[in-house]
Structure 1
C-alpha cells in the first residue's frame, strides 16, 4: 500500500508523534512532555503543533498527495463513532471531550491540509501496531495484553481490530478473577488489574519483605531502601535468586494466566502478545502464565496456545495510531 500517515500516542506523561509508512515502518519521531496544565484545548494545540511540524518535515519528501491522515491513540473510553474521549486516566479535565473534531479544527489552524483524523483507545492502537509491524504479524487472531500502571488489552480478529458492540472489547484488566478480592474499580471486586497492576505488585512485595526482613532483596538491588522497590528492582531480585521476588512474579504470571484462560474459553483466541512496562520481566511472567493457562483450560483448547513478548516496546501505540489511517 502506498502512502504515509502520522501516529499520535497521547499519555499523561508524554505526547509522541511519528511518521509511518506501511512498508518501512517508523521514519520520523517527536516526543514532548504532555502540557497537563493547559487543559484539553491546550493539549490538542500541542498535538497539532507536533503533527504540523512532522508533516512539514516529510510532506515534500513523501508526497503531500500520499498523506493518509492522522491517527491518535489515547487512554480512556472512546465512543462508537470514535469522536469522544471520556475520563482518560492521568488527563484531568477530559471528562467527555470531542477529541476528533477539536483536533481537526486545530490542525486546520496550523496549516495541515484537510485529511482524515482517527482516534481510538491506546490499548487498541498498541494491538494494531503489533499486528501490522510487531509480534502479532505471525497471527491472524490474537490478543495484546499491556501490563503497566494498569492492565489493558486489544483484540485482533482476522487481522482486524475488534472493538465490540460498544467499543470496550479487550478490557481484560476489568475481568474478575477473584470474586472475593478487593474492590478497586467502581465496586468491581478482584479484577486482573486490581491484583497485578503496578501499584498492586509493589504493595504485595512490600508486605512480603516486611514479613521476611532477611530476604535477599537488599543484596539483589545493591542496598537500595525498601521504599524504593519497583517492578524493575523486583525483577532484578528474582533473577539474583531472591525467593520472595520469584514467588511474587509467579503469582503475577498465574493471575494473568487465569485471565487469559477466560479469553480462550469465550473467544477461542489462542495467541497472546504481552506488552507494557511490566512485561519487561519476560519469562518471570510468561512462564507461570503459560503454565496456569494450560492448567485452566480444557485439553481440547490447548492446540495453538502461544504467549510471546511484544516487539515494539513503547512505540507500539504510534505505529498502531498511524495504522488506523491505512484501513
Structure 2
C-alpha cells in the first residue's frame, strides 16, 4: 500500500481536509466551516477537528506507519522555517501564530501521534499541487497564477516552491502593470489584482453595459445586475454575448501582460492558470496567449505556454499533502 498524508486548506469561510496518497489519489475528504469571526482558538480547534476526523476514518483502511505527516496551506505570509504565519487575511484576531507547533502538540496529546507538520502559503501549496499531481507535472519550472476574488500565485523552480528571501515570493497580483492607472488596490497603483480581481471584472462589464446594454446578461441576472459575477459572465460568453466576450478579452490581455513581465524577470516560460475565475477557460486564455507574445521579447518566445490548471478546488489540499512527500 502507498504512503499518504493529510492535507489541509484553510480558507476564510471553509476548511478542507483530505487524506491523499503519494500517487495523488484522494482517500477521504472532509469540509467544515472555518468560523473565522470567532477568533484563532475556534479556528484552530476546527482545524484539529477536521484533521482528527479524516485521520480516524483513513486509519481504519490504511496502516498508521504509512502516514507521512500533515501539510496545511494558509492565507498570508509564512516564515521561511514554516513555523510562523503572520496576520493572515480574512482571519480576524490573528497576529503572529506558530500554527505548526500548536497543531503538533495537540495531535500528540489527543492522538498520541508525533507527526511532521508543514505550514505553507495557500497559493504556494496550490502551485505545488499542480506541480506534483496536475497540469504542471510535465514542467520542472513554471509559475501558477490563481484568478479569483484576488490574484495570487506560486513559483516552482526545480520542482520546488520558490519562496524568496523572507518567504513572501509569489505575490503576483501586486505587480504593477499600469503605473498610470487611477486604480489603487492594497496601496499599489495599477496592480494586476486591481485590474482583474473578480470585482474589478464585474465592474468592467457593467461599465461596458452603460453604453451598450446586454440582453443576455440581463436575462442571466434576472434583471438584477448586483447578481452579476464571473460565472454568469462565462455563461454569457458561451452564448456569444459581446459585452462578456470583450470583458474576458480585457482580462486575458492584462493577464498576458503580467505574465510577460514574469518571463522577462525569471526566464520561466510555462504558466498554469487556476482559481474560480479561470473557469472562463479559453475566453481568457486565448487573448492571454496572444498578449504574452506581444509583451515578451522575441528572443524569449520559444517555449512560451499557458495551461489551465487541472485540480480545481482540490489543488489546495493536494498541494498541502504534497508538502509531506
- Provide the residue aligned with 1:183 in structure 2: 184
CA distance in 2, matches of 1:160, 1:55: 27
- Structure 1 residues 142 and 164: alpha-carbon distance in aligned structure 2, compared to 1, 3 A threshold: same
Q: List gaps (5 residues or longer) in structure 2.
A: none
TM normalised by structure 2 equals: 0.96
Could you tell which deviates more after superposition, 60-69 or 153-162? 60-69
Q: Deviations over 1:221-240 (max 9, x none)?
A: 27442221111111122221
TM normalised by structure 1 equals: 0.95
Q: Deviations over 1:179-222 (max 9, x none)?
A: 1221111x211100000001111111222212323x33346627
- Provide the residue aligned with 1:97 in structure 2: 97
How far does residue 59 in structure 1 lie from its aligned partner after superposition?
2.4
- Asked if the contact 1:216–1:237 (Cα under 8 Å) also holds between the matched residues in 2, the reply is no
2:258 is equivalent to residue 283 of structure 1: no
2:297 is equivalent to residue 298 of structure 1: yes
- Asked if the contact 2:24–2:133 (Cα under 8 Å) also holds between the matched residues in 1, the reply is no
Q: Deviations over 1:97-133 (max 9, x none)?
A: 2211122222233325011111000000000000111
2:69 is equivalent to residue 69 of structure 1: yes
How far does residue 66 in structure 1 lie from its aligned partner after superposition?
2.1
CA distance in 2, matches of 1:222, 1:52: 42
How far does residue 24 in structure 1 lie from its aligned partner after superposition?
4.5
Could you tell which deviates more after superposition, 243-252 or 7-16? 243-252
- Asked if the contact 1:192–1:256 (Cα under 8 Å) also holds between the matched residues in 2, the reply is yes
Q: Please tell me the root mean square deviation across aligned C-alpha atoms, in Å.
A: 1.6
CA distance in 2, matches of 1:115, 1:295: 49
How far does residue 273 in structure 1 lie from its aligned partner after superposition?
0.5
**Partner SS, residue 16 of structure 1:** strand
- Asked if the contact 2:218–2:225 (Cα under 8 Å) also holds between the matched residues in 1, the reply is no
CA distance in 2, matches of 1:294, 1:230: 29
2:106 is equivalent to residue 106 of structure 1: yes
CA distance in 2, matches of 1:177, 1:112: 51
Q: Deviations over 1:132-179 (max 9, x none)?
A: 111111111111100000100011111111111111222110100011
- Provide the residue aligned with 1:315 in structure 2: 314
Aligned length: 324
Q: List gaps (5 residues or longer) in structure 1.
A: none
- Asked if the contact 1:220–1:240 (Cα under 8 Å) also holds between the matched residues in 2, the reply is no
